Structures are given as structure tokens and as C-alpha cells.
Amino acid sequence: MDDSTTVVITGMGAVSPYGPGVQKLWEGLSQGANCMHAVSELTELPMVNTKVAATVPDTDYSFIPRKIRRSMSRMGIYAYLAAQEALQQAGYENAPDHLGFFMGSTLNSISVWLELASYSQGAHLERIKTSDFLQIMNHSPLAAVCQALKINGPAMGGSEACATGLMNMGLGFLAIRSGLVSQALCGGTEEYHPMFSACFDIMQATSTNSNDNPSAACRPFDESRTGLVVSEGCGLVFMESKKSALARGVPILAEVLGFYSNTDTENMAFPSQKTLEACMRGALASAHISPKQVDLLNAHATGTIAGDIAETQAAQAVFGPSLKINSLKGHLGHTMGASGSLESIACVKMLADQQILPTKNLQQPDARCGRVDYVRSPRQTPLHIIMKNSFAIGGNNCSLLIRRPL
């Protein structure tokens, strides 16, 4: 493969429950800092069992010009900040010409939708503003960032629930490899609303055993886990052909080796081991590498009983018992549509530091999970290739392989 079809990462931007910026994300993850807390709206709803979430700290966004900010929901603001950071790290003050942009979310701003619904119920339709509509289109964050940063290449907002962020990284990878664009900004964004927690609670997928201890609420792989903790944020990576990066003389942070996606048609909410196994094997085939070359699987692993078991059993089938595996949901909670891209940024940092972050709150792996090497404490070890998984309600699955720069 030549430099024009080799895809690399040269910039990263993040907004997470640890705050704005990749540095705050990495510091929070490295220190095992707690970002989960009780949510007042949930504590007032006795029928909802979960009471905990992880949200982006309150921040003054008034520095964003009002002309730009008025068409942005919170998730649009997160995306704007992450896009600026990724562009700057990639060596750009402004978006380059014909930059591709691939970003989406699980849903659009529930807060704005509910506000609009309250207007219609009270027959106060005259109170609806143009900016309200501009914040609730399916591609609102994508369009708002394009307008704000003058991104004029192809912009596509794939939405695949919890797989959104990683799926859009895969789309960017494929777009560059096919020659559609030579550079692309890719990832996912999400904003929290208590309705997310309530809906997952109805599906019996949320954590309920640590409402009095939010820090320990999410416990991927652990025998005592009861479910996920809903979170929010945005992760964006700047991808480009290696030829483009070398011509510009910018540092290469990582290489994207391969990508694969498939759809589970057996059940909307429960993943099957067979389909997840096929997804991971597809990514390996895409990258032309063997399972033994993968040093770490950064699992989707949200802390649900069914999901953790299916994914780890599939991982054992593909890689064998010596595979090192971790999950970052115990640190961050489940940032939904942003999770795949935010966690991929953490994977790039792990490659740079040659360090595997542990799965927070994992004390005793569930005996029903696959037999693999669960990383439970920080581990300094040679890291060359990481596989990142994202699996979604609805059966959308994807796996992406990232390599340390050669």
C-alpha cells in the first residue's frame, strides 16, 4: 500500500466529562478520576432505578460568537470545540479546502425538542425561533460546525447509536483510502438528557447498584455489574493520507490499519457472539494482519451483563486467552454516539505512552465472560496495534485497528 492510500491520524479533539480538551481527557483517565455523579432529575423520579450519570462540567461558552452559537445545541458546541482542537493539532488555523467531515450522534438535542413540544402544547407556536429548528435537524451539529469553520468538503452525518463515533471514523478512513478526500474530520458527539437514562432503565440496562457511590457505578466485566452509566461528550480525529501528512511535515500520531462493520439481525438489543466475532475478523482481514499481532482490545464493554459476555466470548474465539483487554466505560460512563471516537483518542494516547489503562471498578471478572487477560491495573507494555470495538442497539457493529507510527 502506498502513502496515498495509507491513512493516518494527525489531530485529535475532545470534550468529555473530565472537561474540554484531549489533555483533560487523558489526565482524568490516567488518574482514574471520578466524573460520575447523582442527577437531580433522576433522584426525583422514583420509577427510574438509576440515579447516576457523567456530564461535561459547566463551562462558559460565551467566547463563541453569538452568530455561531445560536444554531448550536450543547452537542453542537462540544463538536465545535473538539473540531477546533483537532484542526489546530493537525497544523491548521482554518479548515483546509475540501476537508471531509463525518460526524453524527445517537439523537439530536432532546432538550431543544422538549422545549419546542412545550410551545406547541400551549399553542404558542409564535415563540418558535429559526435557531430552534436549526438545532434539531438530524445533522444539526455537523451543519453548524461546517458553517462555523467553513468546512466545504463532503459532510455526512452517520447515526448508528452507540457505534456512531467509530462508524464515522471508519467512513472517513474509507473516504480517504478510496480517494474521495485526502483529509477528513471524523467522530461523534452527544449531549446528556435524563430521558436517556430513563429509556435505558426501562430496558434494564442501567447501573442500579451504586447510586450511593457514583464512582463505582459502572463495572465492565465485573461479576457484580448491573449496567451502564449514561454520559456525554465529543471526540473528533483529523485523518489524512500519509502522503498528505508527509508533504505538510506534521507529526503522525497513529495509523489506521483497517475497518469493518456488520449488522446483527437476531435481536435489536442483545448482541450475538457470532456476529461480533465476524466483525472483528473482518477488521483483521481488512488490515491484512493476524490476531496475534493485536496487542490490546479496547472493548465496547458498557457494563451490561449480556453485552460484556457476548463481546468477551467473541474476543476469546478470535484472539485466544492471551489477549489483553480493557474498557474505559468505568472511567467515562457510556458517551453514546461519542464513545467510539473518544475512546479511540485514548487508544492513540495509550500507544504513545506504551501504557494500558485498566478497566476501572473491575475486581472479579464474571465467570461467564470469555477467558482473556483482563487489565485491572495500569500496565506498561509494548503496544503496537490496538483494536477498538463499538456495538450499538439496533445491531450496528464496527471494529477499527490503530497502529503506533512506524
Catalytic residues: 162, 300, 334
Helix (H) or strand (E) holding 343, with range, is helix 339-353
C-alpha 21/C-alpha 14 separation (Å) is: 5
Cell of 272: 450475538
Please report, to the nearest 10 degrees, the dihedral formed by the alpha carbons of residues 310, 316, 318, 322 taken in order: 150
Helices then strands (H, E): number in the chain? 14, 16
Q: Are strands 183-190 and 396-403 parallel, antiparallel or unpaired?
A: unpaired
Q: Collapsing DSSP states into helix, strand and coil, what is residue 278?
A: helix
Rounded to whole angstroms, the Cα distance separating 208 from 225 reads 9
The answer to whether the Cα torsion of 268, 284, 385, 187 is positive or negative is negative
Any bridge partners for residue 186, and if so which?
Answer: 102, 237
Tell me the three cell numbers of residue 199: 429509556
- Compute, in degrees rounded to 10, the torsion defined by CA atoms 121, 127, 130, 135: -50
Closest C-alpha among 302, 125, 65, 132 to residue 206: 302
Angle, CA of 305, 299 and 266, to the nearest 5°: 55
**Angle between helix 339-353 and helix 164-178 axes, rounded to 10 deg:** 70
